Structure 1
C-alpha cells in the first residue's frame, strides 16, 4: 500500500518542482485511485515518452530509484519537475531555461535561478542536434494533427461502445478501469508533445516580434486561432443560453437551478422539450467536462448537470454583443492584421519571412493540438470515473462504503482485497477520505526545492491574508492577452457557482481549467494568481477576445471583491480605480 497522503521521492539530480501549470488541471489533491490507476499512473510514463521523442535525452536519464521523476505528488498535490523542463529548454535550439520559465511557469518571484542548479552534462551537442531535427521536422514542419484526430476517433468509439455499467460485475468494472492504461499513456504522450511544441512556438513568436521592434504583437499573432477544443463548450452553452430565453424555458430557469434538470425533463411543453433535447446532446458530448476534470473523483457536467445549467443561466442574460464566435472572429481579424505588419517588416529578408510563416503556422497548430490532446484524455478519464462511481454506488448499497466517493480512496494494490471482501476496507477508506478533505484546507508550497516540507507545516488557507489594494494601487503580472477593460472585480475561487459573475464583471481567479471557460464569455477580462502565456486562461482569453493577466500573484486576496478595476492586458497591470 502506498503512503497516504502521497509523498513521492524527490530527485537529487533534478530537485526543483513547481505547482505552476499542473495546478490548472489539478488544483486539488489527487485521489489514491487516480494516482495509482488513472491520471498520475498514465501521465508519468507518457511524459517520459514525450521528452525522449523530442530528442532532448534518452530513457536512461530518468532515475530508476525515483518512481515519479516528472510528476510527483507531495502531500497528494501534484508538481511538475521544473529542473527537467529547464533542461528541455537548454537542449532545444532557440530556447533557454529562462524562456521555459516564462512560457510554461510564468512569473515566480524567489525561484532559484537556472544557474544555481546547472549540471555539467546539461549542454549536450548530440541531443541538441536531435532536438534541432525534432524542431525542424515535427514542430515547424508539421501540417496537420492526424495523430490527434486518430486518438479522438478511438476514444469516441470507446465512449460510443460503453456497456451498461450496471450489468458488469465488480471485477469487470475494475478490469475496464485498468484496460485503458496503454491508451492513456499514448494520449498523454501526445498531449505533452503538443504542449512542448506550442511552448516552443510561443517562444519563437516572441523572439521574431522582438527582433522587428514589435514585441506587443506576439500574443495577437496567437489569438483568434479557431477550433480550440477548450473554447467549444462556450459556444454551445451560448446557443443554449439563447434558447433559454424562450418564455416557457426561462420560467423554469427563473424558479432556480435546484432540480432544474428534472423539471426540464418532466415538461411536455414543445419549447421546453426542444431545449432539453439540445441540452442532452450537449451533455452527451461534454459529460466529462467539469472542475478538475482529470481527477476521477471530481464532479463533471454529466454527473451533475446543475453545474452546466448554472452557467447557461448566466449566459441567457448576456447581451448579443458578447457572442463568443463574434469575439473569436474579431481576434482572427486582428491576428491577420498583425501578420501583415510582420510580413511587411520582413519583406526584404526571404529567410526571415519563411521562418515567420513556419512559426505562425506552428504556433496555431500546436495550440490546437495541446487542447485537443488534453480534451481527448479527459474523455477517456471519464470512462474510469463512471466505472468507479458505479462501484461506489454498489458499495454504499451493500453497506461496505459510507459514501459513494470513498471508492476513490482505494489504491490499486488494494483492489483484489476489496473484491474479496469490500467491508474489510470500510473504516480505512473513510479515514482516508477525512484526511483527503483536510488537505483542501492547506496551501501547498508553490515551489519545492530539494525536499517538500511535511503537510503539517503547510499554511492553512484560512490564514492566508494580504493587504487589500487601495484606490490607485496596482499589481502587475504577465500579459496573457492584450487589451484594456474596466469593470467590477469578482473574486471566484471555484467555477461551481457562476451566479456571482454578471456580464461585464472582471473574473479574478486563483487558476483556471476548461470548466471555467464558459464564465469567460460573460467576463470583461480575466486575472489569475498563477499562470503563463501558455496556460489555459491565456489561451482561451485570446480565443474569446478578452484581456487577460496571468501570474498576478495573490490577486484573489489583494483585489477587493466588488471594486472597480482596470485591467491592462498589454502591460500586465491591474489597477483599483
Structure 2
C-alpha cells in the first residue's frame, strides 16, 4: 500500500485519495505556479491508522448526533474522539513512508545539522470544494521540525477532523460522519517576509475583473486568523494596474518560534509602510489569474513572499461570491439643469433602478399621458413638449419638471382642482370606473386576441409600446382618485375629531375599516384556497412537502411535480390558476423586468403554505370584527348627534367609506397589462436568443430600445431568423457583454439611497420636502423617524426584504421592512407584527392595509432599508412614527 503521493501527481479526480487542499496544490503545480515542495499523506493512511487502532465504530458512535444536538453535545463528542487519537499509535508502514518522504524534503541550506521545518495541513475529502470551502474547520501546524514531531502533528491533524466546529459545520451541510476522510499535506516552510490572501474576484462587489489582495508582514497566519489588520490592494485583473489600496497600521506580525509560531511587534519604520508596491501587487495578481484560469473558477489563494519571490500556498474555489456589481454611485448629476426632480407619484412604484428597456420606454409614455390629461383638464399649451419627463439618474426614475413648465402648472392649480372636483377629463372615481378602467381592459383584450407567437417582431414591439402606454394612461387617471380618497378621509377625520369625538370614543379610523378592496379580496382568496386544500385528502401534505420553487415551475409549465399524483394535480392546478388569473397581475415593482405573480407565483405559494401550517388569522373573521366595530360605533355616534351635525357626520362618513377602498382597487389594477406585456417581450427575447443576439430570453429587458428596434428591423426577431453570428462573424451572442455590464451597473446602483429631491439644496428641501413620500436620508443615531401610519407599538426582529425573491425569508412575527409595499405585498402582512418602509405616508397602500390588519406602521423613513438589517431587534412605534434600534446588527455564527 502506498501512503505518500507527490503533490505534482495529484489531479482533479483524486479528491477521495488526497482531499481538497492537495488537489488544489497539485493543480497549481501543473499550472506552473511556484508552490513550496511537499507531499500528501493520503486518506489510505488515515484509514489504516483508524483501523489499526480500532477507532471506526467508536468514532461513528460519538460523531452521529441528532438534528437537535447542542454545541455542548458536539464538544463532548469531539473531546472523546480526540482522546482516542491521542492514545493511538502510528502504524510502522505509515511511519516509514512518512519518514522517507520527509527526508526527501531536507533543505540543503541547513548546513548546521538542523532539521527541515515543514507545515502540516489538513486536506479533507469535504474541504476546499466549489460549494463549500470548510475553511478553518481542521487544524494546521506550522514550523514542525523532526520526524517525531512530524508524526505527532500528523496524528493531531487527523484528530482535528473531529473538532466540534468541524462536526457541526459538516452536519449543517448534510455531510455524514461516515463519508469523510482526511489526507495530510506536508510542505517545506517558507521563511516568509510577507504573506496574505488573494481573491481572484473581488468579494466586496463580485467583480471578476478585479483581484483583491490582503498583505501583512511575516507569516500569513496573522491575516487568516484576523490578529492583524492587513493592507488591502485591489488590482485590475486585465492590466495589473492597482485600482485602490488601503495601507494599515500593522502593529504585530507572526514569525517562527523555536516550535510553532509567535507574535512580535513590527518595527516602527515598517508599521505604516506598504507590504507590496504596485509592481509586486501586479506580479502576484498575475499568479492569481493563472490559477483562476487553470481551475476555471475564481480562487481564494494563500500566498507568501520570501527572498523577493512569491509562493502559492493554497488555492481553493471562492464560495458564496456575489454577482458582479459596479461601484455604488455617490453623486447625483442632473441631466437637464433648468428643472426640478422628484421621486414621487408613479416613481413610488419604482423603488429600484430601472432596467434599460423600461427606462427608455416609460419616459416618453409618462410624458405623453401626463400632457394629454393636463391639456384636457386645464387647457392646451400649459405643459409643453419638453416640460415633463421621467429620466433616470444613476438608474433611478425621477419626475422632471422644467422650471418654466412648473410655474405654468402652478398658475393653473385652482383650475386643476376644479377640474378634479367636477370629474373633468375623465378624472375621479366615476371617470376611473366608467372610462379609464374599461379602456385599459379593452386595450389588453385587443392584444390578447393576437397570439404572440404568430406576430412579427415589429408587431410585438408595437404591442409592447401600446400596452405600456395604456398602463401609463391608466396610472395617470388613478392619480386623480388618490387625492379624492385622501381628501375624503382627512375631511371626515378632521370633522369627527373636532366636532364629534368625546372621551372614550374610538378613533376616526374605526369608521373606515372593514370594507373590501382588491388586496383584501386577494388575501381572502388565498386563505380560502388553503382551506379548500385541507379538505382534499393528501393535497395539503403534497403542497407542504413540495419545494416552492418546484411547485411554481410546475404551475407555470403545467406538469405535476414529483410529490403530486395526477389526480391531485388536476384538482389543484386549475384552482390556483383561477386565483392567478384574477390577481396575478399585481406588480411588486412597475418595471416590467420584475416578474408578476402570474409569471412566478412563488410568493403566493409560500402564503398558501403559511395558512396550511395554521398560521395567520382568518381574514373573513378579521373583516367581520372590523365591520361590527364600525357599525356599532356608527350607531352610537348617530343616536347622540343633533340633526345638523348628524347630517354632516353622515355625509362625510359616506364619502370616505365609498372613496377610500376604491383607491386600493384602482392601484391594484395598474399592472393589468403586465402579464401579457411580459409574454410579448419574452417572445421577442426567445427569438433574439435563436438569432444569437442575447443569451437568454430575459436579457431582452437589458437591451436599449434602439438596439431592440434595430434587431427587429434587421429581421432578427422574426420566427426562424438567421443567427446573428452568421451576419456579424461573432462567436458569441452579440449583446452578451453589454447585457452583463448593464446588470453589473444595476447591482451597484441598487445599493444607493436615491435622494428624494434634486438638485440637493436647502431651499428645495424647505420648499418641497414635506410633500415627499420619504423622509430625510441623513438620519443618525438609534432612532429612525418616519410617519406614524397605523397605531400601536411592537418590539420584534426586523426582516429587510428587497423584493419577492426574499419573501420566503419572512418569519411570522417579524417586522416587515421594505422600500415600498404595493398591493402584491399584501400576503406578507398576515405574517408581520409591524411594517416599516422607506417610502409612503398615512394614506399609502402600506398604511391602509396595516390598519386593516391592526399592526403598527411607520412609513416614509427614507433610510430603513439602509439602516436596518434582518434579525435586528427594533421597536416600532406607530403612534410616534419612530423606529428604535434596540440592538446592533446580529453577527453571523460559524
Range into which the TM-score falls when normalised by the shorter chain:
0.7 to 0.9
The Cα shift of 1:520 comes to: 0.7
Matched, 1:184 2:503: no
Equivalent residue pairs, number: 510
Partner of 1:35: 359
Equivalences for residues 253-292 of structure 1 within 5 A: 253-261=544-552, 265-266=559-560, 267-292=564-589
Partner of 2:421: 135
The Cα shift of 1:28 comes to: 1.4
Partner of 1:297: 593
Matched, 1:61 2:382: yes
SS at match of 2:803: coil
Which structure's CA Rg is the greater one? 2
Distance 1:530 1:416, change over 3 A: closer
Matched, 1:46 2:343: no
Matched, 1:329 2:624: yes
**Residues 142-151 or 437-446, more deviating:** 142-151
Higher relative contact order (CA 8 A, sep 6+): 1
The Cα shift of 1:433 comes to: 3.9
Matched, 1:154 2:445: no
Normalising by structure 1, what TM-score?
A: 0.75
Equivalences for residues 110-509 of structure 1 within 5 A: 122=410, 128=414, 131-132=417-418, 134-135=420-421, 145-147=433-435, 150-151=438-439, 153-154=441-442, 157-158=445-446, 161-180=448-467, 183-212=470-499, 214=501, 217-226=507-516, 228-245=517-534, 247-261=538-552, 265-266=559-560, 267-292=564-589, 294-319=590-615, 322-337=617-632, 339-340=634-635, 343=638, 347-348=641-642, 350=644, 353-421=646-714, 422=716, 423=724, 426=735, 428-449=738-759, 469=782, 475-485=784-794, 487-509=796-818
Distance 1:361 1:488, change over 3 A: same
The Cα shift of 1:282 comes to: 1.8
**Residues 25-34 or 201-210, more deviating:** 201-210
Higher relative strand content? 2
SS at match of 2:548: coil
Distance 1:207 1:531, change over 3 A: same
* Two-structure CA RMSD over aligned residues (Å): 4.0
Distance 1:375 1:140 in 2: 16
Distance 1:344 1:10 in 2: 60
Residues 396-420 of structure 1 deviation map (CA, whole Å, 9 limit, x = unaligned): 1221112323322344444442123
CA contact (8 A) 2:440 2:471 kept: no
The Cα shift of 1:509 comes to: 2.3
Unaligned runs of 5+ in 1: 88-118, 452-463
**Residues 356-365 or 523-532, more deviating:** 356-365
Unaligned runs of 5+ in 2: 1-328, 717-723, 729-733, 762-776, 887-894
Distance 1:416 1:526, change over 3 A: closer
SS at match of 2:758: strand
Distance 1:528 1:436, change over 3 A: closer
Distance 1:507 1:318, change over 3 A: farther
Partner of 1:522: 831
Residues 267-300 of structure 1 deviation map (CA, whole Å, 9 limit, x = unaligned): 33534432222112222333333431x2111122
The Cα shift of 1:386 comes to: 1.3
Distance 2:649 2:374 in 1: 25
Distance 1:280 1:271 in 2: 14
CA contact (8 A) 2:437 2:474 kept: no
SS at match of 2:596: coil
SS at match of 1:270: helix
The Cα shift of 1:389 comes to: 0.8
Distance 1:221 1:527, change over 3 A: farther
- Of 512, 521, 525, the residue aligned with 2:821 is 512
**Residues 550-559 or 195-204, more deviating:** 550-559
Partner of 1:76: 395
- Of 852, 863, 869, the residue aligned with 1:543 is 852
SS at match of 1:549: strand
Partner of 1:109: none
Residues 128-173 of structure 1 deviation map (CA, whole Å, 9 limit, x = unaligned): 26624642667999699333552465256347x4433223222221
Normalising by structure 2, what TM-score?
A: 0.50
Distance 1:48 1:225, change over 3 A: farther
The Cα shift of 1:391 comes to: 0.8
Distance 1:65 1:195 in 2: 26
Distance 1:502 1:381 in 2: 29
SS at match of 2:672: helix
The Cα shift of 1:574 comes to: 4.1
